[in-house]
Structures are given as structure tokens and as C-alpha cells.
Amino acid sequence: MNLLIIFIGAILINNFVLSRTIGICPFLGVSKQVETATGMGLAVTFVMTVASAVTWVVQTYVLERFGLVYLQTVAFILVIAALVQFVEMVILKSSPTLYQALGVYLPLITTNCAVLGVTILNIDSKYNLLESMVHGFAAALGFTLAIVIFAGIRERLALADIPKPFEGFPIALITASLLSIAFLGFQGLL
Amino acid sequence: MIRVITAISILGGIGALFGALLAYAAKRFAVETDPRVDQLLGVLPGANCGACGYPGCSGYAAAIAQGAPTNLCPVGGASVAAKVAEIMGVAADTMERQVATVYCRGGKAECGTRFQYDGIPTCKAAQAVGGGDKLCTYGCLGYGDCFRACTFDAIHMDENGLPVIDEDKCTGCKRCVLACPRNIIGMRPASALVQVRCLSEAKGRDVRAICSAGCIGCGLCEKACPFDAIHVHNNLASIDYSKCRNCGLCVSKCPTKVIVEQLGTRPKAVIGDDCVGCTVCKKACPVGAISGELKAKHVVDPDKCVSCKLCVEKCPKKTITMQ
């Protein structure tokens, strides 16, 4: 039951992009097409789930044991950077098209604050290993959900007749904020 | 102290562990790429200017490997095109180096202003305010949009408010051409050493009234040209580079000094000892620089010679050289 609450909570109520406003860079950058947005979402999902597990292990068995909790941020970034490198290699091997489509945003997952954010939130919320992984997975699903919905809207916006000053990023930002308000409706779910 | 050592060793250990894993993964998930792409990337200039039409040098390298033309890089020019062609194993497509040229000589001293412009100091902004403050609607506004657009440090603004292009540094990327709101900067082959530096199609009298360095369409250059290479259309002289031989006669005749040349020291024709006195060169010379009697060795007056090389081509004994 606890896991289900974490799962639903991370996707809908505390949606990383729309409620906690972290991970905005890829949210705005890779959301022009649903296809690339889905790819980005999948890459982030993989990285965030594995990063949640690895950082929990690093935190519990290395940092806390040796009293090095103050090195948390540095150590976590190290873990995330290595993971992203790994994911990049796998994607390049398995799907060059997806690799081309993600372009510069794949290496940018390294500095995607959503990934670092979820790992630190796991520790701060005192989750155990399983809870951390579920939370990381669900948060990434929430990210994917938000970015795919947003990309769908932006695909339509590209064809819409928008006043000149609002073309491009202005209308995208307004859309993002409206989407964020819509997600506020989930606040009373649990 | 011990805490510092633990911290360093633990963090270093984590790093080393991940490094080893990544090294293994790099081998395990290695993708066979076309080795030529890396080689091509090595010979391309790496400026990532995009002038070839591809997103950066790596994009162009990948495109060449897929069969794109080898001579699209204006920055590297012929030498890079040759290296690229060598890697691809095809004959190099020759390309004439193009350089940017400012087609205006009317700086602050030569051409005045219609009003005092105190707005944003860019050409684009000045152009948007009533078509610019310059008296001449064809002339350089002098706020340096081209200077800021140049990423190769090849454009400088002189004290007269005109951009000066360093042709050795110019790579022909055309950024300045795009930046100029008045389309004053154009590309020309680097071997075209004589240019009419004016774009004004206004009548001669109108040009004279506002600018002392504009083409007034007087036609003196047209008359001076021995090769029929320069003509006045719409009150503006223009050079046909397929005929121009860089002799510079028009340059010396131009009353407003709007025709300029880049030739420094000109090589002069010298007639060798094989001359049989056929007088062919004498007849060919457009400026009468060659003198001599029939069946006697001819001589070139170096002061008159304009290095057009017509005599070199015409000489049946091939004994005339440029020195």
C-alpha cells in the first residue's frame, strides 16, 4: 500500500516537472515531437530508476558508513554521469535513430536536475531500497507523462495561428503553466 | 587528516569502479562506425560554422562519408577539399576561394548623414529608422554588424567608419553577407583583384551631391579597358571577371577612385633573347608598352606595362616572361 502511494504520488501529485518544477531543461528542449519526447522519457526513466537504486546503495553502505554524507551531491553526480554514459552507449548500439533524435539532450541527462533531485529526495524521505526504486521509476514516469502530453500540445501549437509575439517559447511556457495548474487538480487524490 | 584520506579514497574508488565498468561497456557495446568519418573530422577545420550547410564539422564529415560533395567547406578551401577527396578516394573538385568584399567606399569623410541617429548602434536598427541615417541609400551605415558577425577576426572597422576585410583571414563563410542589412557585402573570387566598390545606381549628379567616393557612371573605365571587361549599366560600372585581366587601367582612370585593386607589386613582362622581332607582341599590347623594329629584339617599358600578360600569350616564340 505504501508503495502504491509513493507510485501514484510521484506520478500525479508531486509530478516532478509540473508540481516540483525540476527537469525543466529537457521538458522545454525535447518536447517538439511526441516521438523524441517519448525517447527522452524512456532514457530518463531508465537512468532515474537505476540511479535511485545505485545512489541508495552508495548512500547507505558507503557514505553513511564512513561518515561522508557531506559528499552526497558529488558522489551522486558521479553515479549519474557514469550511468548516463552507459545509457548513451546502449542507445547508440541498439537504436542509432533514437540516438540521433535525442541528440545533445542525452548527455544532458547528466545535468538533468530531475535525476539528481529524485536521488536526494529518496534519501531525505528515508525510503528503503525498494521504495527508492519505485519512487525513482514513478517520478520518471511522471516526467515522461508530462513531457509527452506537452509535446502533443506543442505539435498542435506548431500548426495553430498564434499571435507573432507568442510564437515559439512564450506560448510553450504558457502551455506548461496551464498544464501545471491542471495537475494541481490531483492534489486531493490521496 | 584520516577523514580527508577516507573521503578521497572512497570517492576515488567509486570513480575508478565506474570508470572500469564504462571501459568494459565501451568494448561490449562498441559500434562499428565508418573510420573515414573520424579521419574526415580530423582534416576539417573544426570551426563548426555551418557554412557547408551541415550542422557543424561532424555533421559534414558524416555527410561526406555518405557521399556528399567534398568541396563544400569554404573555411578550409582547396587544401581541405583536396585532403577530404584523398580520404574518400575521389578526384578533388577544385574550388576558387571566395572572399567577402565591401562594395562601398563612402565612409564618414566621403558621405554625410541625413539626420542624427542616436539609437541602438547596429546597422539593422539604423536601417529600420527611416531607412538609415546615411545620405546614400546604397552605402555602408558603418555600425559594424558585419564586424560583429565575423567569427574569424577578418573584419575591422576603420576610423572612417568602413569595414575593412582582411582577405587572408576571410574564409568565405558569408556570415557578414547575411548580417549586412543593405546587402553591401558580396562574395567574389579571390583572384578578381579589381573591384568597383560602389553599388549606387543613382544618377551621376545625384551621387556626386552626396558622396565623393561613389560611382558616377562616367564611363571613363569603359573607355580605358582594353579587354571590354567593364561596362556601365544603370549608372554603375560593373566588371565581367571572365574578361578582366587585372590590368588596373580602369583603376588609374576612375575620377572618384571607386575602382580599387589589391595588386601590390605587379610583375612586368620581359622579352627574352629568343625574340625574332615579329612585332606580334607590339600589336597585342593594349597600352603601347612594347617598342622595337621588325626583325629586331623588342623591349618592354616597365613603366607602361600593366601586366595583362596578353603579349605572353601571343608571343609565337614563347620567350616573354613575367618578372
Q: Is the pLDDT of residue B264 over 90?
A: no
Is A86 in contact with B7 (Cβ distance < 8 A)? no
Q: What is the pLDDT of residue A47?
A: 85
The pLDDT confidence band at residue B1, using thresholds 50, 70 and 90, is: confident
DSSP helix/strand/coil, B16: helix
What is the mean predicted confidence (pLDDT) over A94-102? 74
Establish if A158 touches chain B: CB-CB under 8 angstroms: no
Give me the percent of chain A exceeding a pLDDT of 70.
97
Which pLDDT score, from 0 to 100, does residue B315 have? 86
Dist. CA B207–CA B217, nearest whole Å:
9
| Pairwise CA distance, residues A62 & B264, whole Å | 73
The number of CA neighbours under 13 Å toward the Cβ of B70 is 22
- B155-157 and B163-165: which strand pairing? antiparallel
pTM: 0.51
Residue B194 to residue B245: CA distance in whole angstroms:
9
> What's the rounded Cα separation, in Å, for the pair A146 and B125?
41
A92 touches chain B (CB under 8 A): yes
Average pLDDT over residues A30-39: 83
pLDDT score at A143: 93
Cα A73 to Cα A102: distance, rounded to the nearest angstrom: 26
Is residue B157 a contact partner of residue B107, using CB atoms and an 8 Å limit? no
Q: Rounded distance, CA B277 to CA B286, Å?
A: 18
Residue B90: other Cβ atoms inside 10 A: 13
- Which pLDDT does position A31 carry in this prediction? 83
Q: Say what angle helices A113-124 and A34-57 make with each other, to 10 degrees.
A: 40
Q: Give me the residue label for grid cell 564586424.
A: B147
Task: Say yes or no to pLDDT of A136 above 90.
Answer: yes
Residues B222 and B230 sit within 8 Å (Cβ to Cβ): yes
Residues from chain A that touch B26, judged by Cβ atoms under 8 A, are 89
Does pLDDT of B3 surpass 90? no
pLDDT at residue B275 in the model: 85
CA B160 to chain centroid: 21
Q: What share of chain A is helix, strand, coil (3-state, %, to 5)?
A: 80, 0, 20
Alpha carbon distance A84, A106 (integer Å): 8
Q: Judging by DSSP bridges, how do beta strands B236-239 and B230-233 pair with one another? A: antiparallel
Distance in angstroms (rounded) separating the CA atoms of residues B21 and B27? 10
Averaged over B282-303, what is the pLDDT?
84
Do B158 and B107 contact (CB within 8 A), yes or no? yes
What fold characterizes domain B35-88? 3-methyladenine DNA Glycosylase II; Chain A, domain 3 (1.10.15)
Chain A CB contacts of B29 under 8 Å are: 89-90, 92-93
Calculated CA dihedral for residues B109, B115, B121, B126, nearest 10 degrees: -110
Residue B268: the pLDDT is 82
A100-122 pLDDT, tens per residue? Answer: 766 666 777 777 788 899 999 99
**Which among A68, A78, A86 has the least Cβ separation from residue B7?**
A68
**Comparing B35-88 with B269-322, is the CATH topology the same?**
no
* Mean pLDDT over each residue of chain B, to the nearest integer: 86
Alpha helices (runs of H) in A58-112, residue ranges in sequence order:
72-94, 96-102, 105-108
Q: Nearest-CA residue of chain A relative to B59?
A: A100
Across the interface, whether the CB atoms of B11 and A75 are under 8 A apart is answered yes
CA dist B87 and B70 (Å) reads: 10
In angstroms, the CA A121 to CA A20 distance is 11
Mean pLDDT of B212-237: 89
pLDDT in tens, B77-116: 778 888 888 888 776 656 677 889 999 998 888 888 888 9
User: Is 80 exceeded by the pLDDT of residue B176?
Assistant: yes
- List B194's β-bridge partners, or say none: B261
Of A157 and A100, the structure prediction assigns the larger pLDDT to A157
R_g over Cα of chain A: 17
Q: How many residues does chain A have?
A: 190
Distance of CA A171 to the CA centre of its chain: 22
pLDDT value for B91: 67
**Residue of chain B nearest A58, judged by CA positions:** B14
Interface residue A67 vs chain B (CB under 8 A): yes
| A-chain residues near B21 (CB < 8 A) | 82, 86
Query: CB-side exposure of B174: number of CA atoms within 13 Å?
Result: 15
**Confidence check: pLDDT of B50 > 80:** no
* Close Cβ partners of B58 (under 8 Å, ≥ 6 residues apart): B37, B41
| Distance to chain B for A114, nearest Cα, Å | 21
Are residues A146 and A17 in contact, defined by beta-carbon separation less than 8 angstroms?
A: yes
- Whether A133 has a pLDDT exceeding 90, the answer reads yes
Q: What distance lies between CA A112 and its chain's CA centroid? A: 7
pLDDT band, very low/low/confident/very high, at A174 (cuts 50, 70, 90) = very high
* Predicted pLDDT of residue B216: 92
CATH for the B98-261 domain, from 2.30.30.90, 3.30.70.60, 3.20.20.70, 3.30.70.20: 3.30.70.20
Domain positions in chain B are: 35-88, 98-261, 269-322
- Range B269-322: architecture per CATH: 2-Layer Sandwich (3.30)
**B26 has pLDDT over 80:** yes
* Residue percentage of chain A with pLDDT more than 90: 29
